[in-house]
Amino acid sequence: MMRKWNFYTSNEIKPQGWLKRQLEIQLAGLSGNLDKIWPDVRDSMWIGGNREGWERVPYWLDGFIPLAYLLEDADAIARAKKYIDAIVERQAEDGWICPCAPEERAKYDTWAVQLIAKVLTVYYDCSRDERIPTVVYRILRNYYELLQNKTIELFGWAKFRWFECCIAIDFAYRHFPEEWLRKLAGILKAQGADYREFTDTWKRPLNKWTFHTHIVNLGMMLKSEAVSADLLGDEYRDDAEALYRVLKDHNGTPVETFTGDECLSGLSPIQGTELCSVVELMYSYEHLFAKTGDDKWAERLEVAAFNALPATISEDMWTHQYVQMSNQIACQKFPGRSLFRTNTEEAHLFGLEPHFGCCTSNFNQGWPKLTLASFMHNNDTVISAVPVPSTLTTDGYTVSLETNYPFENRLTYHIEAARDMTLRVRIPSFAKNVAVDGVAAEAVAISVKGGEIHTVTVTFDTEAHFEARPHGLHVVKCGSLLFSLPIAYEKEMFEYERNGTPRKFPYCDYELTPKSPWAFGFADNALTVERHPVAATPFSESEPPVTVTANLQPIDWGLEDGFETVCAKIPESRIATAEKEAMVLIPYGCAKLRMTELPFVE
């Protein structure tokens, strides 16, 4: 696959600083324990059990494998290997690998075939297990023959996610350059959905569930051309930008995601965004930046990663929401009908599997794959694509980045080169007064000769500012961070069992009931930024690493019609009811209850 930039593996990149701590929290939480406590992973048909035998184990492994190897945790690596061994051992003689009887294949949604093949490539990149290329080859050869012979055909999720298989096809083609692999990509595209046909249906919300407006499908879809064009012999046209623009204009959120609960839900700050879509959007942004080298994709990745991802997962990473809202004044089960278009009344609670369990297993890929996107390369040119604290070690050089970005704007690179190399640093578009070792610079490219050791510090400024949102509302941003007014809350725990799956502390359900006022508007344009030490929990609600003080005034905002725990989509009044008060805003990713999109008072 021809890319501007290529990915490194978990053997070459290691997290440092706050990023390493975030991954350690993830391993100690739900991600690192699903195989112990969740029947759909612990007792899955993938390993000979009787529980779910489709997407949940592959989803979990997709994040758990790189998490284990990035942290070099021997126990987690052994548990990942146990699952991979069990899956590989059950591969049928003809190559079929999913837990499905031969006579059931025609009715089995082969999205799971596409997903497990991709996951095995992730495992190979981490483990270098020499069994894996042949296993993937046999999966794809079987898939090709079944599709070509019309024994099976794409339907359901496989039809709308066909391009995901191209990651495994590209992997197999690099090991076994046989023409039938390209033909398989062509068959998948021919039978798969063409999202360009559906853009008109994205322009207004539909109160019905469809594959082509499903938010997770759309998050995956953005990278479809990037991962398939070379295999298909197509010229790359950057369809992703045009598709992104339609989604952004009609369903965009202020954190580079789209509303979807579960399907596209318009521009309302009280509609939800599914967690699966956040991590899939991040993965698409990573591939789009790698393919094109266009900085816009890396910048969008940052905003989603540093805001939407931590916002919808508890600080200890034991619980998560199915959907998050920009203006989220409570996380309490709706007593009547659901606010969400196709989600249940509990989709916004923090729990083990609120509404549906896909996010329980799929959110795991977010932080590990972001780490793997921190550095990329083109031969001996390395780019610091997402400047998070991490170390790159290859045969020819070591590059270590010491930073608290995005909470601070200082990047210190330590470079030891055994051969000539160049380090490029992607500078965000919002950066001002960029300097390298104190000298003003417009771009950062550092050439290092073999045998040299360099330390280079890049600094820049970011300014807090207002950004307009639909309906006459505004948000506060500073760099890639969005800021919200936090709402104090009382947390109530619920332990119970449903469908044979216990919710037991710490992976039980929680309702969050607001205990502080939330109905405010901005009084003026004054914004003051304060930076603080990064706590042991990087996205801490009580110890936020950055704050912005703004002047707010209370207004009569009102509640959404028919709901007592949801603010109105648009304020009923923008007239101030009291004097202005200086109030502290915290990063969106730190706030579990929050008001983010606010009006200016009249």
Q: What is the SS3 assignment for 153?
A: coil
Predicted local distance difference test score (pLDDT) of residue 7: 98
| Domains of the chain by residue range | 31-192, 464-595
Q: What is the mean pLDDT of residues 462-477?
A: 98
Q: What is the SS3 assignment for 592?
A: coil
Tell me how far apart the alpha carbons of residues 489 and 507 are, in angstroms, rounded to a whole number. Answer: 19
Predicted local distance difference test score (pLDDT) of residue 330: 98
Spatial CB neighbours of 94, under 8 Å, sequence gap ≥ 6: 142
Whether residue 506 is preceded by a cis peptide bond, meaning omega within 30 degrees of 0, is yes
How far is C-alpha 131 from the chain's CA centre?
29
Q: What is the mean pLDDT of residues 418-438?
A: 97
pLDDT tens across 348-378, in order? 999 999 999 999 999 999 999 999 999 999 9
Across the chain, what does the average pLDDT equal?
97
Predicted local distance difference test score (pLDDT) of residue 15: 98
pLDDT tens across 486-511, in order? 999 999 999 999 999 999 999 999 99
Predicted local distance difference test score (pLDDT) of residue 299: 98
In the chain, the percentage of residues whose pLDDT exceeds 70 is: 100
Q: What is the mean pLDDT of residues 220-229?
A: 98
Tell me how far apart the alpha carbons of residues 258 and 217 are, in angstroms, rounded to a whole number. Answer: 12
Q: Which helix (H) or strand (E) holds 41?
A: helix 39-42
In contact, 388 and 426? CB cutoff 8 Å: no
Question: In which band, very low, low, confident or very high, does the pLDDT at 192 lie, cut at 50, 70 and 90?
Answer: very high
Predicted local distance difference test score (pLDDT) of residue 2: 87
Predicted local distance difference test score (pLDDT) of residue 113: 98
Predicted local distance difference test score (pLDDT) of residue 29: 98
Q: What is the mean pLDDT of residues 465-469?
A: 98
Q: What is the mean pLDDT of residues 31-35?
A: 98
pLDDT tens across 70-87, in order? 999 999 999 999 999 999
In contact, 390 and 16? CB cutoff 8 Å: yes
Predicted local distance difference test score (pLDDT) of residue 1: 74
Q: What is the mean pLDDT of residues 566-571?
A: 98
Tell me how far apart the alpha carbons of residues 345 and 196 are, in angstroms, rounded to a whole number. Answer: 32
Say what angle helices 56-70 and 74-89 make with each other, to 10 degrees: 140
In contact, 12 and 399? CB cutoff 8 Å: no
Tell me how far apart the alpha carbons of residues 450 and 447 are, in angstroms, rounded to a whole number. Answer: 10
Is 0.85 surpassed by the pTM of this model? Answer: yes
Cα–Cα–Cα angle for 502, 504, 509, rounded to 5 degrees: 95
pLDDT tens across 107-119, in order? 999 999 999 999 9
Q: What is the mean pLDDT of residues 145-154?
A: 98
Whether residue 597 is preceded by a cis peptide bond, meaning omega within 30 degrees of 0, is no
Q: What is the mean pLDDT of residues 458-485?
A: 98
The answer on pLDDT for 261 being more than 90 is yes
